[in-house]
Amino acid sequence: MADKKDVPSSSEFDSGPLNSKQPTGELNRKDRLMRVSTAQFQMKPIKIWDDLCEHAQFFIDAAIQNKSHFLLLPETFTAELFSTMPFGWSDNQMIRALCDMTDAYLEAFSDLSKQSNLIIIAGSQPILKSDGFIYNVAHMFTPGGNVYTQEKIHITPKEVRLWDMKPGNKINLFDTIYGRIGIQICYDIEFPEVSRLMSLAGVEVIFVPFSTEDFRGYQRVRCCAQARAIENYIYTVISGNCGTIPVASYELNFAQSAVFSPSDLAFPTESTMIESEPDIENVVNAELDLLHLAKRRKIASVQPIRDRREDLYQLQAKSTIEIIKVE
């Protein structure tokens, strides 16, 4: 079971670079490079479960070739399995059938993580909980066989209308041997309060699996993820679905996966580390230097964490943010 510790209030953090609570253990080593791969997953009709695993293997192989530490897959990429379900099923029937495949999903991606020696953030999977409601849950699989989760905490009108999904109520951060990370699923990144709370708790990289139907939806996710990187002086990584399957709820998809940085000297001029060609299947890779990030924060052109006006406004989590040690 992962170790957990509560996050102190923002007043307990200093105004300096990575705030006073540094990630523990191996995170403090001198070489703090994190190599990430982010998928642009092209939805296509498939026939059986194994086809989905074979599809995911393409991105895993690419990440291995890049010697990456992390692979990010998109939000609900498992919806590709909708194409295996009987024609005429309702949206509710399909999402519940997908929930029934959760055990297979957990087993498959746990095995894939072990085999590849990658930390795989396998997008998100709908989960039917004991309360009878469906939640959109991101899963992070580690080579050690552990699985860590982050529920989507802001549910879109579409998710409510089609699937009667419910929002989660917890914000988690994860201390990996490479850095302290967070996960915000799609719509969640459009709420800057959550990213700022994560930043105050020492997050260095936020992974954003998303799924959007068109360019406008994608633009919301992209612009917000880029803004979160700039205003919190962190990296953000986004991964989305493209392509189409003959199912009304996933007939259209648009994506351009990317990695974003702060906007300052010694970072890319457009604060984009790398981005895919739009709307085609691809995987892009980036090396994130977290030691460089920490050093640059100390001498940044602007320091939005330090320069907050807590005499005029304050931000405080109403539920405990847990920092979980990843093993």
pLDDT 10s digits, 246-273: 998 888 999 999 999 999 999 999 999 9
Cα 79 from Cα 94, distance rounded (Å): 9
Predicted local distance difference test score (pLDDT) of residue 242: 97
Domain boundaries, the chain: 34-325
Tokens 């996710």, residue located: 221
Q: How far apart are CA 316 and CA 195, in angstroms?
A: 12
Cβ-count burial of 306 within 10 angstroms (0-12 exposed, 13-18 middle, 19+ buried)? middle
Distance CA 289, CA 122 (A): 23
Contacts of 27-32 spanning 24+ positions with Cβ under 8 A: 27/175, 27/176, 27/177, 27/178, 27/179, 27/180, 30/291, 31/291, 32/178, 32/179, 32/289, 32/290, 32/291, 32/294
How is residue 16 written in tokens?
A: 């300096």
Residue 152 DSSP symbol: -
CATH of domain 34-325: 3.60.110.10
Sign of the dihedral defined by the CA atoms of residues 87, 245, 71, 173, in that order: negative
Give pLDDT tens digits for 93-103: 999 999 999 99
Between β-strands 171-175 and 282-289, what pairing exists: parallel, antiparallel or unpaired? unpaired
Question: Active-site residue numbers?
Answer: 75, 152, 186
Dihedral angle over CA of 317, 224, 135, 45, nearest 10: -170
Picking from 225, 227, 218, the residue whose alpha carbon sits closest to that of residue 255 is 218
Cβ(198)–Cβ(180) below 8 Å: no
Distance of CA 264 to the CA centre of its chain: 24
| pLDDT-derived band at 182, boundaries 50, 70, 90 | very high
CB count in 10 Å sphere of residue 47: 8
83 DSSP β-pair partners: none
What's the pLDDT tens digit per position in 42-80?
A: 999 999 999 999 999 999 999 999 999 999 999 999 999
Per-residue pLDDT, 30: 64
Are residues 125 and 76 in contact, defined by beta-carbon separation less than 8 angstroms? yes
Cα–Cα distance between 48 and 166 in angstroms, integer? 28
Closest CA to 73 of 51, 99, 52: 52
Percent of the chain, pLDDT > 90?
88
The per-residue pLDDT for 44 is 96
Interacting residues of 108 by C-beta distance below 8 A, sequence separation 6+: 49, 53
**Residue 14: per-residue pLDDT:** 32
- Whole-number average pLDDT of the chain: 92
Under a CB-based contact definition with an 8 Å cutoff, are residues 208 and 185 in contact? yes
In SS3 terms, 158-209 reads as HHHHHHCECCCCCEEEEECCCCEEEECCHHHHHCHHHHHHHHHCCCCEEEEE
